[in-house]
A and B are shown apart, each in its own frame.
Chain A
């Protein structure tokens, strides 16, 4: 949910609460003011009525003093000794032609020697109107306030938060391998300036670290290559000399070791490069075509071991992957399937939607399957193998958000890639 929506939601809740409580409060305050006013008026009318009754001859049963006011006189045989009491009641209003709430003041008095119970009732009609009025005003206010707050909020978001959005937009497109320095919008908001500064610091540190690491990897591989090349080439030169067989063997071992070291270094620096995210440029890739051409290059090797190849390409979808990594990945998978195979064995390559399965016949596994993906774990004692193949495969898969699972059943091995 967007910040703006969340803020608006809180505003709405607060407004509803405040306005309900406010409306109730306003209603009660207004009502008590009106009640007080009514009571005063009733008492004033009482005084007026008593004065008039005492001073005028003819008593009528009912008087209308103010329009809507009802006065009732009832003769009592003895003095009822009623002190003036106020109460709310419902009466029939002749003007409105319906039952309406009234406020009634009841008291007793002695007029011309007779005892009377007198009640003056005042229509409370305005009271209902009052509630309606208050509600209408409050709702009106609430709507106006909500709209203006909403607009204000939007304005604030667009104006005040614009540096923030600007930063986010840049961070979204930020790539450590192709860093573009952050450009900050000038803002009056201290927090945003702070955020900008902290980010800039963090990013330039990351860029520095990344560069250092990249340089280190490059330098190491670069500086190691030349001495390795010298060792290798000198050994190669020595091999051309007429040496004794055991001397030849010794030189050959130097040569082999240099070759292995060079391969090992290649593998490790490849792993580091993947881990450093140096293979970011992905492109669309038709896996089916790619597999077909790769399988062709391995054809001769399969012939030598007399391996039967079975392919099933159900899907010809395109995947997004870095081309170099795809080469390494498929090469490794296929060459693994061939080299760990047995003579007269089989390989099955199955491409489905979002899944590639390569299964092959082979010998029973010696190393626990989980450890196979670790660096330098080999299923054979073959020291010539770098032992990096499967961990390379795994890294490449992780890098491309693919999962790789290995299953084996006796002499059947299966590697499943899904994405």
Chain B
């Protein structure tokens, strides 16, 4: 999977590239409008992550250019502006998703995965993690070939974990992923704990293993080891 990151902020770009590379993507980085234009012209990426504000141009133009060459890349906008007009404009000209700074790397990663999954046009595409098999389209999960009934949030939580496997995922980023701005952080932690407890229980009932490790005070890690 090839990803192009268009981001002018060096420190931010480094983190994103490092995180995505560790997640198994081949990640290229353009730090200016010009370099982005060059790269998008010569190569087709599975996903392009674009920061709207660039020193030598507007990220929206990068998207317009991608659209004009009929690129099949999925597009995610990164913006510091949480303005609705920007969001609407970005989605209008063909971006697939929108993420506002400051975001969690885990969240960006989950969104990229979801986007690539959607764009791969393979509805049967299943995510397999040992005995757990998730089908994101009909939102079903099987463990050892037995159907697992999950609530909406439990399902989202499981996908989020699998997308960020072998990573420490903070409880804040889980809360953000599950509820967005709907909940104040503090209150959501109890809810995460409850959801997680139920999820673990349900998987173990079907003979599945508990892959969730608690990283005390920080969050959780979904890992095979």
> A230-B12, A245-B216, A383-B186 given. 17 additional CB < 8 A pairs?
A221-B80, A221-B82, A222-B53, A225-B101, A228-B101, A229-B9, A230-B11, A233-B19, A233-B105, A236-B105, A259-B102, A259-B185, A260-B185, A266-B82, A339-B184, A339-B187, A384-B184
**Interface set, chain A 239-272, CB cutoff 8 A to B:** 239-240, 245, 248-249, 251-252, 255-256, 258-260, 262-263, 266, 269
Give the total of B residues in contact with A, Cβ under 8 Å.
45
Q: Which of B9, B15, B181, B184 has the most CB of A within 10 A?
A: B184
Question: Of residues A260, A297, A301, which shows the largest number of chain B Cβ atoms within 10 Å of its Cβ?
Answer: A301
B18 part of interface (Cβ distance < 8 Å): yes
Which single member of A221, A252, A339 contacts B81 (CB below 8 Å)? A221
Asked if A324 is at the interface of the complex by the 8 Å CB criterion, the answer is: yes
Judge whether B102 and A232 touch: CB under 8 Å: yes
B211 to chain A, nearest CB (A): 17
Residues of chain A lying within 8 A (CB to CB) of residue B102:
225, 228-233, 258-259, 262
Minimum distance in angstroms from B221 CB to a CB of chain A: 9
CB <8 Å contact, B170 and A233: no
- CA A335 – CA B187 in complex, angstroms? 9
Cβ-closest chain B residue relative to A297: B182
The residues of A that contact B82 with a CB separation of less than 8 Å are 221, 266, 269
What distance in Å separates the Cβ of B49 from its nearest Cβ neighbour in chain A?
13
User: B residues within 8 A CB of A293?
Assistant: none
Say yes or no for B34: interface residue by CB 8 A criterion. no
A–B pairs, 9, beta carbons within 8 Å: A222-B53, A226-B101, A233-B12, A233-B16, A236-B170, A236-B173, A240-B22, A240-B167, A240-B168
Chain A residues closer than 8 Å to B18, beta-carbon distance: 237
Instruction: For A240, list chain B residues within 8 Å (CB).
Output: 22, 167-168
**A411 within 8 Å of B by Cβ?**
no
The list of the 3 closest CB pairs from A to B, nearest first, reads: A384-B186, A229-B102, A225-B80
How many Å lie between the Cα of A297 and that of B12 in the bound state? Answer: 33
Report the Cα distance A255→B215, complex, angstroms.
14
* A386 interfacial by beta-carbon distance below 8 Å: yes
Instruction: Give the distance in Å from the alpha carbon of A232 to the alpha carbon of B16 in the complex.
Output: 11
Is B106 engaged at the interface, CB distance under 8 Å to the other chain?
yes
The reply to whether A304 and B185 form a contact with Cβ atoms under 8 Å apart is no
B69 at interface by CB-CB < 8 Å:
no
Contact with A along B69-103 (1 / 0, CB 8 A): 00000000000111110000000000000001111
CA distance A269 to B80 in the complex (A): 13
Contact of A301 with B218 at beta-carbon distance under 8 Å, contacts A221-B82, A384-B184 already known: no
CB distance A386 to B84 under 8 Å?
Answer: no
Q: Given A236-B106, A385-B184, is A300 in contact with B19 using a C-beta cutoff of 8 Å?
A: no
Q: How far is B182's CA from A328's CA once the two chains are assembled, in angstroms?
A: 8
Q: Is the CB of A222 within 8 A of B80?
A: yes
* B158-184 near A? 1/0 per residue, CB < 8 Å: 000000000110101100000001111
**Bound form: Cα–Cα A386–B219 in Å:** 21
- Interface residue count for A (Cβ, 8 Å)? 47
Chain A residue at minimal CB-CB distance from B183: A335
Check A234 for interface membership: any CB of B closer than 8 A.
yes
CB-contact partner of B15 in A237, A248, A258, under 8 A: A237
Contact between A335 and B182 (Cβ–Cβ < 8 Å)? yes
Report B's interface with A, CB cutoff 8 A. 9, 11-12, 15-16, 18-19, 22, 53, 80-84, 100-106, 151-153, 167-168, 170, 172-173, 181-187, 190-191, 194-195, 215-219
Distance between Cα atoms of A233 and B167 in the complex (Å): 13
Q: Which of B16, B84, B194 contacts A324 (CB 8 A)?
A: B84
In the assembled complex, the CB of A359 is this many whole angstroms from the nearest CB of chain B, namely 19
User: Which residue from chain A places its CB closest to the CB of B170 in the assembled complex?
Assistant: A255
Answer whether residue A418 sits at the interface, using C-beta atoms and an 8 A cutoff: no
A382 at the B interface (CB under 8 A): yes
CB-contacts of A284-319 with B (<8 A): 297, 300-301, 304
Contact of B195 among A260, A304, A324 (CB under 8 A): A304
- Interchain CA distance A75-B153 in the complex, whole Å: 134
**Interchain nearest-CB distance for B2 vs A (Å):** 21
A20 sits at the interface (CB 8 A): no
- Report A18 CB to chain B, min CB distance, Å: 64
**B172 to chain A: which residues have CB within 8 Å?**
255-256, 259
Q: Is A331 an interface residue (CB 8 A)?
A: yes
Q: What's the Cα separation between A249 and B170 when bound, in Å?
A: 12
Residues of B within 8 A of A229 (CB): 9, 12, 80, 101-103
Given contacts A233-B102, A339-B184, contact A218 B12 (CB under 8 A): no
Q: In this assembly, does A163 line the interface, its C-beta being within 8 Å of a C-beta of chain B?
A: no
Expressed in whole angstroms, the minimum distance between the Cβ of B107 and any Cβ of chain A is 10
Min CB gap B196→A, angstroms:
11
B195 touches A236 (CB 8 A): no
Docked Cα-Cα span, A245 to B215, in Å, equals 9
Cβ of A101 within 8 Å of any chain B Cβ, yes or no, is no
- Interface residue A196 (Cβ < 8 Å from any Cβ of B): no
Q: Contact at B185–A384, with CB atoms within 8 Å?
A: yes
Q: Is A389 an interface residue (CB 8 A)?
A: yes
Contact A239/B218 with A335-B182, A335-B184 known, Cβ cut-off 8 Å: yes
In the bound assembly, the distance between CA atoms of A382 and B190 in angstroms comes to 13
- CA of A331 to CA of B183, assembled, Å: 8
**A222-B53, A266-B82, A324-B84 known; A239-B170 Cβ under 8 A:** yes
Nearest-neighbour CB distance to chain A for B208, whole angstroms, equals: 21
Closest to B218 in A: A252
Report B-chain residues with C-beta under 8 Å of the C-beta of A232.
Answer: 102-104
Q: Which residues from chain B contact A324 at a C-beta distance below 8 Å?
A: 84
Docked Cα-Cα span, A252 to B153, in Å, equals: 24
Q: In this complex, what residue of A is CB-closest to B197?
A: A304
**A237-B18, A259-B185 as given contacts; A248 in contact with B215, CB under 8 Å:** yes
A225-B102, A228-B102 given; A263·B168 CB < 8 A: no
CB neighbours (8 Å) of A260 from chain B are: 185
Complex contacts, A255 vs chain B, CB 8 Å: 170, 172, 218
